[in-house]
Structure 1
């Protein structure tokens, strides 16, 4: 799934009204609400601080608020941009400073969507994958072969511990761990002890 790495901001102007969109990575509904509250405090003098957030790999939590704008003209359009861009675990607040000219329903929808889209252009977006950790215990005499196998298979070594034996912490995509275990067991003639570790969310370039 796609996530943003840090806060990002974008701004557009429509008929003298300023629309300032601020995005923030969040892991829970509580974090999202805290971010929204902080934006409202920062932009206390604005006419509206509309918001939307999506949390979870399958958007288990979704919420939007029009904050006084006509129903359906702000929060939901903002939410549609986030889901349309397939960005997860993110909260968005669009702050509006009224310019004295009414935009109408269609104009508001376009403005709030446009502000969030502009902020996403400035956001650092990365792919986050669910990875299964495999722990490989091997003799020192087999280290070179294992390193070669891991490299050839495209598996990432997160850490290596050197003690009486060598312990590799290897990350493979969740769901592919059984195939990885079978491959490594066959290629090492069963010399490597392999156990499953934790599931981890890893951010990729």
Structure 2
């Protein structure tokens, strides 16, 4: 089972005069992760390195940001993988203290910065979500909204056009039952659409 975080968690280590500021936070996708990294670079212009690891299935990536290859981003990614985390970004900002740590020391420092942040982090099971979209006549909108509320679905975009178009998301394992209930509630007067259009 994969887990994620509800909120960011932090750590700070001082190792041989170098300061390592760690953070692990939930992020939606790689673009959001890149924005966080750029914001950290702007926030810490005097930092020697802003290393990061992003874990999200096929979009996973790691970056050593000038540290010797494989001594920062990859070890951080392994900590996330070991904790079975998905949809998270680990960052470590390093202020160089003048003492070189060597490859082994760097791996330990970056690994520890991420691991320390996660020590007491409340992990949440990651639940696969389905996004659905349907169009119904105006007189069926109330019935659909009641079914969505009863199922605990999150209502997204609603457009009032020729028909009422509703986009919503809910845990994937509950989507089939909700589709059947909406079919029944609207007496089959529902048109299912691609949520991306």
| Fold in common (TM above 0.5) | yes
What is the rounded CA distance, in whole Å, between the counterparts of 2:105 and 2:155 in structure 1? 51
C-alpha displacement at 1:94, in angstroms? 3.4
What is the aligned length?
Answer: 191
- Report the 3-state secondary structure (helix = DSSP H, G, I; strand = E; otherwise coil) of the residue aligned with 1:149: helix
Q: 1:196 aligns with which of 189, 193, 197?
A: 193
What is the rounded CA distance, in whole Å, between the counterparts of 2:196 and 2:174 in structure 1? 12
Q: 1:35 aligns with which of 38, 54, 57?
A: 38
Please list the CA deviations of residues 45-79 of structure 1 after superposition, one character each: whole Å capped at 9, or x if unmatched: x3xx2623326x4143423327344x544332222
Aligned position for 2:17: 16
Matched, 1:184 2:187: no
* Greater Cα radius of gyration, structure 1 or 2: 1
* 1:33 to 1:164, Cα distance in 2 relative to 1, 3 A: closer
Contact 1:94–1:116 (CA under 8 A) maintained in structure 2 = no
Structure 1: give runs of 5+ residues left out of the alignment. 201-205
C-alpha displacement at 1:18, in angstroms? 1.6
Aligned position for 1:60: 59
TM score, norm. by length of structure 1: 0.62
* 1:4 to 1:152, Cα distance in 2 relative to 1, 3 A: closer
Please list the CA deviations of residues 69-116 of structure 1 after superposition, one character each: whole Å capped at 9, or x if unmatched: 4x544332222123334143636243142354x656554333212223
Query: Which has a greater percent of strand?
Result: 1
TM score, norm. by length of structure 2: 0.64
